[in-house]
A and B are shown apart, each in its own frame.
Chain A
Amino acid sequence: MNELCSLAVYGAGDDRSFALGDYEGPLPRWCPGCGDHSVLAAVQRLLVAEQLAPERTVFVSGIGCSSRLPHYVRTYGFHGIHGRALPVATGIKLHRPDLSVFVVMGDGDCTSIGAGHWLHATRYNMDMVALLLDNNIYGLTKNQTSPTTPQGYPSNTQPRGSYLPALNPLEATLGMTNASFVAQTAEWIPAHLFATLQAAHRHRGFSFVRVLQRCPKYTAPLFEEGMRKPDVIELLVHDDGVTVPALAGVYKHSIHHDPLDLDGARRLAEEGDRIRLGVFFRDESRSRYEDIRRLRSFTAEEKIDLLEGELERHAV
């Protein structure tokens, strides 16, 4: 009996090839104009580009509009509970390092109810892609202030405007020990979104990507400027980060930023006049929890021998 330890890698690659249709699930039920549609399209494009076997790919989400995404991708999906996508993904990856894991969270999920998990998942640095689909509002529960809602922006719970300065997810992630990949992109720039997702997927470690994302219903004004005025966008470019030459014609502002420069990344992550997109930080040398915890597998016979030996220590 070949008793595999759960940490063993199951199976290997094969010669199937996958087309977009292989990853398409049922028709999404998001509002027209919702940024989630663009993210879904980019994700499916990534799956095709990387030829990820659908049965060996898992999308894990929490609760919220964006957390419906796994339902619309034909891979395995785990649509769990609010704020807790990361612990579930941690469990999946610990038991099954062979699976490709994507985590999809909203700003409520990641930066509010699940904030503790976000910090610790950053530190575990397990090989997965974590997408924060940040529309600066609670949409599904109908317009409540989220931690990333800009100060002064009104909602149903804070009608005179959000009381506090918005939480900056990039600063928070960059401040956490063992962070290994931090990027920001915008769903209305599909080429940049795709390139960033691809860089995140190819990075070995916890790839945190904040996707700026419109909510046509509740936060359209917040993204209006970024969408209509290329001048407010500043691209971080580097060979080790994300560089999309085609965008240079549209977006005039760019900074050459080495993703290994953590101090620089932290400075750039601070709020400024411009919306900065690109890879802020990337360091593949950071230790990965699943590598540290990987143990050899034992056969049933070996296990039983070990157990008997252990019982012997307790023998009367």
Chain B
Amino acid sequence: MATGVDVLTEPPSRPEIRTIRTSEHVLEIVSDSGEGAQKCGQIFGNVSARMGNGVWTVEIIPAEIEPPPRSPAGASGNRVRIGKGPVTNWGDETELVVAFNEQALLGRHRLGALASHATVLIENLWATHADPGIRGQWSEALAEMEGSGYRIVEVPMEERCLTVVENARRGKNMFVLGLLAWIYDRDRDLCRDQIEGAFRKKSEEVAAANVRLFEEGYDWAAENLDFRIDVETSQAREPMVVMNGNDAIAFGAVAAGMELAAMYPITPATSVSHRLGEMFERFGGVLHQAEDEIAAAGVAIGASYAGKVAFTITSGPGLALKTEFLGLSIMAEIPLVVVDVQRGGPSTGLPTKVEQSDLLAAIFGQPGDAPHVVIAPATIEECFHVMVTARRIAEAFRAVVLVLSDANLATGMQPFRRPAIDPAWLAESPDQSPVPEGMQPYQWDPRTGLSARIMPGQPGGMHTLTGLAHDEASHVVYDSSTHQRSSTMRSRKMAVLQRALQPPEVNGPPEGKLLLVGWGSTKGAIEEAVSRARSEGLSVSSIHLRFLSPLEPGLRGIFDRFGKVMTVEINYSDEPDDPYITEENRRRGQMAFLLRAQTLVDVDCWTRVPGEPLRPRLILDAIRGRMRKELMP
């Protein structure tokens, strides 16, 4: 999106304050881990949301808790994109950076995170530091960034903070919040409220000191900076809430009436359980931290078997460990919800970074024929509602429902419509009434494969559930006709569910030259790229899939109305012109693989594994590239 901020590159000597008016802006705050840049970014995002801006906040997280200070790989902080309308993704490059040291800045520079016209506000401590090593690093870093076009403004952060507190390392983040509040003209009372809210847990004194640091930053900016940025706001017409995707999943689980979650710590899924643990203590429920990932699945399955649907939360490596239990849950038709907050893989991979590489493992990862449901929320708001949907499907279909979130949704924060909690979302208490005479534990309706669940406590329903092949009575039976019949019944449930789904809505005209297909957290970036491409006159539309298994209906019909179909995904694929790569051996994006198999359409893909959310401009470039190459005369 054009932003018209080139005024920022004007020389710093300009005496009067220039105000840049823009419909949106991207800023970052980066520091060493532990210096609180993330808290600064979050408060800035919250305040902006409350003032009527669209906001997307994304965390910049190193894999370690406290990596060595002043290292490019240790850059920690937030990117915040604010705009007049709703903001659906993290945008392209950063236009304003506040860096606590030049190494954190260098880390972002090396990742290409900064726009060439970016303004950099940086701590002035390092250029003249007593340690010659640090001075040397400063000069080297600046030399490396030379020619980038950044406008660098040194700010005496430490010096000013020391006028308020004794340990400036703990206070710079609120000083920086003050700088940003002046630059973006944020409501100071709102800022103070947020700061007090964030620090009051520690003590009133700490909260007051942080407010003073904020004021100090604000005043310094007012006296010394020569630019301000005015991002238009539009007042939200309906009540909104702001949270990240992991919090939204925790909220959704409670709103769905689920009362037991079992987990084992794994990034980036764990924070769901932080939230849940705290909520369950007050709302009634158990967050069970199991001894391992396998046990977490087992505990959730045991709980689900005997009562309300339970769930387990994990990420890729943990999903791999739970595989055998998922097979059991599917075979024995025990309802279960599994949340996989995807990260980069394989193996330990990129624990804190986004990727969409678990799709095929999520659908096909269980040995044996193991039909189950896989759904992917596309926004933070959907992270909330997906839990209600998942719980209901799990229960109604006696099925495993796997929810694929990812690190981008998990740590991104965005305002969304406040959910209107519906009592009907809450799971009902387990049925403990006597089982009618003659009713079987797997009394499959031959048309639908559906059967009613019988659970412990119900008189007359005694049976032994088993992961072995079994008949309607849950008796172990190995004969071929029973296995064929029971396999059909488990599979048919998926067809029944698929028939109840709606075809995806096409974003843009229902026919054209190119159709992009996305799933999961890339929705905002893809739709922004499509809208920019359309404004350039390109014939592009997109769809975004939520149900990945079974797939939503009508795809073939939609695909047939476009010259070319291409998925956009954050997973690996070979480029068509890579060495050795042919049509026959090309490894395609995972959704492309799936769609080709299910629709027999020659679906192409454009995928990347950058360890960060996709930037709309990269998608736009991909659209232009593919259209030039294949669709233009």
Contact = CB atoms under 8 A, between A and B. Distances in A.
A92 B308 CA distance: 11
B184 interface: no
Interface in B408-425: 415, 418-419, 421, 423
A79 B467 contact: yes
A60 B239 contact: no
Contacts of A229: none
Nearest to A98: B457
A5 B262 CA distance: 17
A58 B456 contact: yes
Interface in A89-108: 89-96, 98-99
A165 interface: no
Interface string A37-68: 00000000000000001111011100000000
Nearest to A96: B306
A87 B242 contact: no
A116 interface: yes
Contacts, number: 208
Given A81-B325, A316-B240, 4 more contacts: A55-B461, A90-B295, A94-B286, A120-B291
22 contacts: A3-B429, A5-B285, A7-B259, A10-B457, A60-B302, A79-B465, A80-B301, A81-B325, A81-B467, A87-B290, A87-B295, A91-B300, A92-B303, A95-B306, A95-B308, A98-B457, A99-B456, A120-B290, A298-B284, A316-B46, A316-B240, A316-B242
Interface stretch (A166-174, A220-228, A258-266, A289-297): A289-297
A77 interface: yes
A314 B243 contact: yes
Contact of B304 (A3, A91, A116): A91
Given A308-B421, A316-B49, A117 B295 contact: yes
- Residue from A54, A117, A314 having most chain B Cβ neighbours under 10 A: A314
B254 interface: yes
Contacts of A71: 464, 466, 475-476
Given A91-B299, A95-B307, A314-B241, A79 B426 contact: no
A306 interface: yes
A5 B285 CA distance: 7
B294 A84 contact: yes
Nearest to A314: B241
A315 interface: yes
Contacts of B242: 314, 316
Interface stretch (B10-18, B58-66, B275-283, B491-499): B275-283
A5 B430 CA distance: 10
Contacts of A55: 456-462
Contacts of A87: 290, 294-299, 302
B284 A311 contact: no
B581 interface: no
A287 to B, nearest CB: 16
Interface string B237-252: 0011111000100010
A143 interface: no
Given A54-B462, A77-B465, A94 B415 contact: no
Contacts of A295: 280-281, 284-286
Contacts of B459: 53, 55
Given A81-B325, A310-B251, A91 B310 contact: yes
- Which 6 A-B pairs rank lowest in CB-CB distance, beginning with the nearest? A91-B302, A87-B298, A77-B464, A88-B302, A91-B299, A91-B303
A77 B254 CA distance: 29
A81 B467 CA distance: 7
- Residue from B255, B426, B456 having most chain A Cβ neighbours under 10 A: B456
B457 A99 contact: yes
Interface string B123-152: 000000000000000000000000000000
A35 to B, nearest CB: 20
A99 B605 CA distance: 52
A77 B467 CA distance: 12
Contact of A11 (B281, B283, B457, B463): B457
A298 B305 contact: no
Given A6-B307, A94-B303, A117-B291, A79 B466 contact: yes
Nearest to A63: B467
- Which size class do A's interface residues fall under? 35 or more
B485 interface: no
Contacts of A149: none
Given A92-B306, A94-B299, A76 B284 contact: no
Contacts of A78: 302, 305, 464-465
B464 A59 contact: yes
Given A80-B328, A80-B467, A96-B306, A90 B456 contact: no
A86 B423 CA distance: 34
A76 B462 contact: yes
B236 A6 contact: no
Where chain A touches its partner, the secondary structure class is mixed
Given A79-B468, A98-B457, A307-B421, A7 B284 contact: yes
A147 interface: no
Interface string A1-23: 11111110011000000000000
A301 B142 CA distance: 60
B50 interface: yes
A307 B251 contact: yes
Contacts of A306: 282-283
Nearest to A55: B459
Nearest to A54: B462
Interface string A274-307: 0000000000000000000101111011011011
Given A11-B457, A87-B298, A310-B279, A75 B303 contact: no
Contacts of B259: 5-7, 95
A58 B460 CA distance: 14
Interface in A224-244: none
Contacts of A88: 298-299, 301-302, 305
B464 A79 contact: yes
B432 interface: yes
Given A94-B260, A120-B295, A56 B457 contact: yes
B324 interface: yes
Contacts of A5: 259, 284-285
A29 B542 CA distance: 59
- Residue from B251, B306, B325 having most chain A Cβ neighbours under 10 A: B306
A150 interface: no
B292 interface: yes
A74 interface: yes
A139 interface: no
A70 B464 contact: yes
Nearest to A315: B241
Nearest to A294: B286
Contacts of B464: 25, 59, 70-71, 76-79
Contacts of B257: 3, 303
Contacts of A3: 257, 426, 429
- Residue from B290, B307, B459 having most chain A Cβ neighbours under 10 A: B307
- Residue from A10, A80, A98 having most chain B Cβ neighbours under 10 A: A80
A296 B281 CA distance: 10
B75 to A, nearest CB: 28
B109 interface: no
Contacts of B254: 303, 307
Contacts of B186: none
A76 B418 contact: no
Contact of A95 (B239, B284, B302): B302
B288 interface: yes
A90 B305 CA distance: 12
- Residue from B279, B288, B419 having most chain A Cβ neighbours under 10 A: B288
Contacts of A86: 295, 298
A293 B302 contact: no
A7 B260 CA distance: 10
Contacts of B297: 87
A205 B9 CA distance: 71
A296 B466 contact: no
A90 B307 contact: no
